[in-house]
């Protein structure tokens, strides 16, 4: 990408970027839209329950493999050509998914969808620095991309529920067609072009790409299986060993295709560490709320989506204010405030009961929504603001895959906590029915008179659903506490990071770059 391609006219610059954001929104939304309706697809295509989970896993694996490859693909095809091809492939794969007649053809199309969607995501974050001059435009672009990346999973359950209730499952995929074609058209005519450089593929270390793919796929499979089989189960340990062995071997290659050596840059390394922490907390919190609302409160996908939309609305309202603060403040300080506030918002959810619903979840979501914008802007600036333009694509891919891996690990951890702790709490409340009936009645949301005797088998069977809901609620509260601790680990990371030039207030950063002072402070 040439330096002068940054200074496109304003309208093409923003139209091209918005087209990229639409593509990214579709790619992320597609995960949550489908997950709410897997049971419907399973029944329609006569797919076994054990196979159905691979419809999601295959998408996530393909997406995670594609994300770090985006920098390489941008060097070969250029931003305009790569975005247009990837989004067009995503649209065609969506049509293929809607046309599927069974498990295997749906699986193949989901892999294609995941790979093409994974390419689009880093293009958005690369475009922030390749399309916009430093200053307010970069801040607005960063906030826009970050907001849509968070909004997509927030509205996914509501969108999927509404489609499932009003249309057939095919429309879960066909909704991508019209906006996808429009975004391809707008992006092709407004994004900067670059010469096709197929010669780069001749000298590529293809074996390192295979090793990277094996490492990421094995890690995600291990994280998927660990909560159900156990983290020390032989099959799970096999996948972990294969993942870390492949990653180590790839790292030792003399000239790997993916530039993971860019992590030697201090700013990128710390930015990725914060992105990893944000991924744990963000993806896991988005995962926990629908689980609670569906399995404890009994809400459907549409009701769940409406309740969880509060986070996205809070972020939308806070974003313009955060942009202005980011221009005038040190990004380390803004990030510290953001992660502290995010941690407080997570902790506010640790005291949920089986009666908690919209009102009880409102303020924690508000606090987290306001904090998210503060947590998204600074790490992107730390990692990418001073990266040479020809390395932006590779650095963006590494930054985004760090967030995805963090999300996968976070979800696996909270899933493990829920599975392992729920039965413990059920056993505890059963004991409380005899030893502390007042406390047991309060915990189960009923009167003492309605509590059966612990020896009354039929009576205990009658409140079994209440017992299970209580156990799951308490286990989810433990998960919120785990996420709170994980979120606060960002604070020592920020302290260890020390001063960075990319963390300067934007006005000072622009002046520093103008003076030619590009070294870290």
For residues 26 and 393, give the distance between their C-alpha atoms in angstroms, rounded to a whole number.
Answer: 20
Q: Residues, the chain, total?
A: 521
Per-residue confidence (pLDDT) for residue 516, from 0 to 100:
55
Do 259-521 and 1-202 fall under one CATH topology?
A: yes
- For the domain spanning 259-521, the CATH number is 1.20.1250.20
Per-residue confidence (pLDDT) for residue 515, from 0 to 100:
58
Topology of domain 1-202, per CATH?
Answer: Growth Hormone; Chain: A; (1.20.1250)
Per-residue confidence (pLDDT) for residue 5, from 0 to 100:
43
For residues 399 and 477, give the distance between their C-alpha atoms in angstroms, rounded to a whole number.
Answer: 30
Per-residue confidence (pLDDT) for residue 519, from 0 to 100:
44
Distant-in-sequence, close-in-space partners of 412: CB < 8 Å, separation ≥ 6: 223, 224, 226, 227
Per-residue confidence (pLDDT) for residue 215, from 0 to 100:
94
Q: What is the mean pLDDT of each run of 10 residues along the chain (521 residues)?
A: 52 92 91 76 79 81 91 91 96 95 91 94 90 82 82 78 84 94 95 87 87 93 91 94 94 84 90 95 89 88 82 85 83 93 97 93 95 88 84 90 92 92 93 89 87 82 90 96 97 90 70 53 41
Per-residue confidence (pLDDT) for residue 521, from 0 to 100:
41
DSSP state of 417: H
CB 123 within 8 A of CB 83: yes
Per-residue confidence (pLDDT) for residue 507, from 0 to 100:
64
Residue 334 CB neighbour total at 10 angstroms: 22
For residues 6 and 127, give the distance between their C-alpha atoms in angstroms, rounded to a whole number.
Answer: 9
**pTM of the complete model:** 0.87
Per-residue confidence (pLDDT) for residue 8, from 0 to 100:
65
CB 67 within 8 A of CB 188: no
For residues 65 and 119, give the distance between their C-alpha atoms in angstroms, rounded to a whole number.
Answer: 9
Distant-in-sequence, close-in-space partners of 328: CB < 8 Å, separation ≥ 6: 505, 506, 507
Which H or E element spans position 269?
helix 266-295
Per-residue confidence (pLDDT) for residue 511, from 0 to 100:
62
What residue segments make up the domains of the chain, in order of their start?
1-202, 259-521
For residues 487 and 400, give the distance between their C-alpha atoms in angstroms, rounded to a whole number.
Answer: 18
For residues 242 and 465, give the distance between their C-alpha atoms in angstroms, rounded to a whole number.
Answer: 41
Distant-in-sequence, close-in-space partners of 492: CB < 8 Å, separation ≥ 6: none
């Amino acid at each position: 990408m040439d330096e002068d391609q940054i200074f496109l006219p304003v309208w093409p610059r923003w139209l091209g970027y918005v087209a990229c954001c639409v593509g990214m929104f579709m790619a992320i939304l597609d995960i949550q839209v489908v997950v709410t309706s897997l049971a419907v697809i399973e029944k329609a295509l006569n797919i076994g329950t054990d196979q159905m989970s691979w419809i999601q896993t295959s998408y996530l694996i393909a997406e995670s493999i594609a994300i770090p490859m985006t920098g390489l693909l941008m060097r070969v095809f250029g931003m305009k050509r790569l975005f247009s091809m990837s989004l067009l492939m995503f649209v065609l794969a969506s049509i293929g998914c809607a046309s599927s007649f069974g498990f295997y053809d749906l699986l193949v199309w989901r892999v294609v969808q995941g790979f093409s969607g994974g390419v689009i995501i880093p293009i958005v974050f690369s475009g922030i620095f390749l399309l916009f001059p430093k200053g307010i435009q970069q801040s607005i672009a960063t906030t826009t991309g970050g907001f849509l990346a968070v909004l997509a999973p927030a509205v996914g359950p509501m969108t999927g529920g509404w489609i499932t209730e009003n249309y057939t499952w095919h429309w879960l995929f066909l909704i991508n067609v019209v906006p996808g074609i429009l975004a391809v058209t707008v992006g092709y005519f407004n994004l900067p072009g670059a010469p096709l450089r197929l010669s780069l593929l001749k000298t590529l270390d293809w074996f390192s790409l295979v090793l990277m793919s094996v490492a990421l796929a094995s890690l995600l499979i291990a994280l998927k299986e660990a909560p159900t089989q156990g983290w020390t189960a032989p099959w799970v340990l096999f996948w972990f060993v294969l993942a870390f062995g492949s990653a180590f071997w790839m790292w030792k290659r003399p000239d790997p295709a993916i530039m993971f050596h860019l992590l030697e840059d201090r700013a990128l390394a710390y930015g990725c560490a914060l992105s990893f922490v944000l991924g744990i907390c963000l993806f896991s919190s988005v995962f926990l709320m629908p689980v609670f609302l569906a399995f404890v409160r009994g809400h459907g996908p549409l009701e769940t989506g409406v309740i969880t939309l509060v986070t996205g609305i809070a972020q939308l309202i806070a974003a313009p204010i955060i942009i202005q603060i980011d221009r005038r403040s040190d990004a380390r300080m803004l990030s510290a405030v953001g992660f502290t506030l995010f941690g407080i918002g997570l902790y506010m959810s640790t005291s949920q009961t089986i009666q908690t619903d919209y009102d009880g979840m409102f303020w924690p979501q508000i606090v987290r929504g306001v904090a998210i914008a503060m947590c998204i802007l600074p790490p992107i600036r730390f990692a990418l603001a001073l990266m040479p333009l020809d390395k932006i694509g590779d650095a963006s891919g590494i930054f985004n895959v760090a967030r995805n891996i963090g999300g996968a690990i976070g979800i696996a951890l909270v899933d493990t906590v829920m599975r392992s702790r729920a039965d413990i709490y059920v056993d505890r409340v059963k004991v409380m029915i005899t030893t502390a009936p007042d406390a047991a009645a309060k915990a189960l949301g009923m009167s003492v008179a309605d509590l059966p005797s612990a020896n009354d088998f039929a009576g205990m069977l009658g409140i079994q659903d209440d017992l299970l809901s209580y156990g799951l609620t308490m286990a989810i509260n433990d998960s919120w506490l785990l996420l709170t601790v994980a979120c606060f680990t960002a604070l020592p990371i920020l302290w260890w990071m020390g001063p960075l030039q990319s963390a300067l207030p934007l006005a000072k950063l622009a002046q520093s770059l103008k003076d030619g002072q590009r070294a870290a402070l």
